[in-house]
Amino acid sequence: MPTVQDQESQTAKLPESIADIIRKNPLFQQSPADSGGSSIPVADTDMEKKKISPEKAGTDEASQADDDDDKDDYFISKPVNSAFEINIAEFPIAYLNRGQLPAGISKTEYQYKDTIKGRDGKPVERIWTIEAHATDEIKDENGERNRVQLGFGGPATLEVIYELFQLWKEQGFKEPRIHIGTFYNLLQRLGWGKGNSQYKQLRRVLNCIHGLHIKGESCFYLPELDKYENVDFYPFYRIKTYTKEEKKLNPDDYVFVCVDDEFFNAVKSNTVYYLPLDRFYFKTLKPMEQKLALMLSKVFSPYRKKQRFEWRRNIYELANQIPILSEESIRIRQQLKRICEGLIQKKFPFLSSYKIDGDVIAFYNTMQTSLNLLSDGSKTEKKDYDTVEWLIKEQLKICGDEHSRAFYALVARYVPVDLIYQALSEAKQEGKVKRKLYTKIILEKGHKYLAPYLKNARKTEDAVIIPDEEAKRIKLELEKEKEDFEQHKKSLTESNPLAEDNNADEV
């Protein structure tokens, strides 16, 4: 049995970011494969070729989403007592099509089914029900306030959820809470603009996310009982915001999202499935491309010892899961073709080609074999430049000591976000001299993260003094990070002219 040290050593070998490896790999600078999807790539290693005829489409072999989870040996451990990891990418959490909802589609409830191989190879049918309980108050023509149902959100909901997971990843998945900072900070990360209309839209989207309710039948395996149990949870059960009155009383209050504990444990155990893509690359994809990209990233995860190179789905079940709101087979095929060709043209790293044969679509991937994902050198997740700047400003708001900016920059870059906010909160509530108390607390909480960078620093009664030469170096490094950050953001946008209209997909 591996020891804790062995597990930590194994985890440490994982790369800092799949996106970093992809950007450095010349394979992804080449022209993409033929987008017609007719050719089947040949993998560098043996590929399991399960031939499924159109007649068998709809059987559990053709329709299962990821039935080999029990057999695969992951480098990332699976959730305790579960044969199913809760993956937000698998759930239809927003309607991504243009225009009005088709007749018969509920605004507040959606259901889909799938079949997996259970214990001893026996098929297990899972039934998923996703409810949207979000409501909002609006004024009618008489000026009276009425509460209305918001239902499921649109493409913006998927975009915000992905951004929340990016923030959570930068925060190291340390706790079942995602620190947003302020709405301004989140709007800035999303690139939505900072006007009143964008602020209202963000509040509505967060309300929709808060109202999501997921129920699953026969989806949670309990080994001690040898049976599949049901699940019933709100993934984001609380969103802490402040009112205008609270903001006046406490202008330094921050916004955070509370996550269901069971969902948190699943995410913490399987973080690589959720965030394989760069946040700016994600924005270049159309909404349905984003959804399929997240699903394929899990299926073709390079973090498996037993890698997968082919995945087959019944087109109707896949359409129901994305969701593509059409029952016409020709429309479903057309939409799936558009989605796949869009991903291939945009050099999505986990889709080499695809093929639609009758009612079955097959996805193929050979790109992961060249990523060399077990190379050394991974450390804790690096924070993006805008996150570091936000954390520096948060510290300056409490401490007000511009001369300590270099020290606050070190804290922002290397100390986990939850520890920074714990220290700020304690200093704000308990300290008459906030700067002095914050410095003391953050040095205690963040000692192991800061120690390598404070060897030449001098500690006074209420501050940490960084030598001028090192302070200048830190400033230059931040300026370089800002330049690289902006250049990367710009280059992705300019290199993807196909992403000009990303608001919705045609059906």
Clarify whether residues 342 and 246 are in a common domain: no
Mean pLDDT of 39-65: 34
Phi, psi of 482 (to 5 degrees): -65, -45
In a domain, 71, yes or no: no
- 349, 28 contact by CB (below 8 A): yes
Distance (Å) of CA 43 to CA 292, 341, 352? 22, 20, 10
User: Per mean pLDDT, which of 2-16, 36-50, 204-218 is the most reliable?
Assistant: 204-218
- Note whether 252 and 167 are same-domain residues: yes
- Min mean pLDDT across 16-25, 40-49, 267-276, 393-402 is at 40-49
* Tens-place pLDDT, residues 414-439: 998 888 888 888 887 765 688 889 99
Q: Of 355, 381, 407, which residue is a domain's last?
A: 381
Q: Of 362, 381, 400, which one is at a domain's C-terminal end?
A: 381
Spatial distance between the Cα atoms of 472 and 453, rounded to a whole number of angstroms: 14
Residue 1 covered by a domain: no
Rounded to 5 degrees, φ, ψ at 273 are -75, -20
Q: What is the pLDDT of residues 338-352, one digit of tens each?
A: 999 999 998 888 888
Separation of alpha carbons 447 and 164, rounded Å: 27
Number of alpha carbons in the 13 Å side-chain half-sphere of residue 139: 3
4 located within any domain: no
Q: What does the pLDDT average to over 21-34?
A: 41
Residue 464 sits in the same domain as residue 321: no
Q: Which residues pair with 43 in a beta bridge?
A: none
Between 429 and 390, where is the model more confident?
390
Asked if the model's pLDDT at residue 26 lies above 80, the reply is no
Beta-strand runs (E) in 237-308? 238-240, 255-258
pLDDT at 330: 92
Question: Are 105 and 207 contained in the same domain?
Answer: yes
Handedness of CA 450, 451, 454, 457 (dihedral sign): positive
Closest by Cα among 192, 134, 200, 135 to 159: 192
Q: What is the pLDDT of residues 94-140, one digit of tens each?
A: 898 877 888 888 989 999 887 777 777 788 888 889 999 988 888 77
pLDDT at 9: 39
Is the same domain home to 215 and 303? no
pLDDT of residue 132: 92
Q: How far apart are CA 256 and CA 426, in angstroms?
A: 17
Residue 503 lies in a domain: no
Structural domain contains residue 5: no
> Contact, 356 vs 333, CB < 8 A?
yes
| pLDDT for the residue 27 | 39
Sign, CA dihedral 51-54-57-60, equals: negative
Is there a single domain that holds both residue 173 and residue 54? no
Q: What percent of the chain has pLDDT over 70?
A: 71
CA–centroid distance for 74 within its chain = 19
What is the average pLDDT across 318-347?
91
Based on the domain organization, do 474 and 338 belong to the same domain? Answer: no
Task: Name which of 323, 315, 348, 357 is nearest 505 in CA terms.
Answer: 323
Tell me whether residue 495 is in a domain. no
Determine, yes or no, domain membership for 106: yes
Do 361 and 401 belong to one domain?
no
Q: Which residues of 79-106 are buried (b: 16+ CB within 10 A; e: fewer)?
A: beebbbbbbbbbbbbbbbbeeeeeeeee
Instruction: Let me know if residue 452 belongs to a domain.
Output: yes
Verify that 377 and 389 share a domain, yes or no.
Answer: no
How confident is the model over 231-250, as pLDDT tens digits?
A: 888 999 998 776 666 665 55
Better-predicted residue by pLDDT, 347 or 40: 347
412 in the same domain as 343? no
Residue span of the structural domain in which 319 resides: 14-65+281-381
The pLDDT, as a whole number, for residue 247 is: 60
Tell me, yes or no, whether 395 and 427 share the same domain.
yes
By mean pLDDT, which of 13-17, 45-49, 300-304 is the weakest?
45-49
Is the pTM higher than 0.85? no
Q: How many domains does the chain have?
A: 3
- Domain co-membership, 437 together with 467: yes
Q: Show which of 381, 416, 438 is a domain's final residue.
A: 381
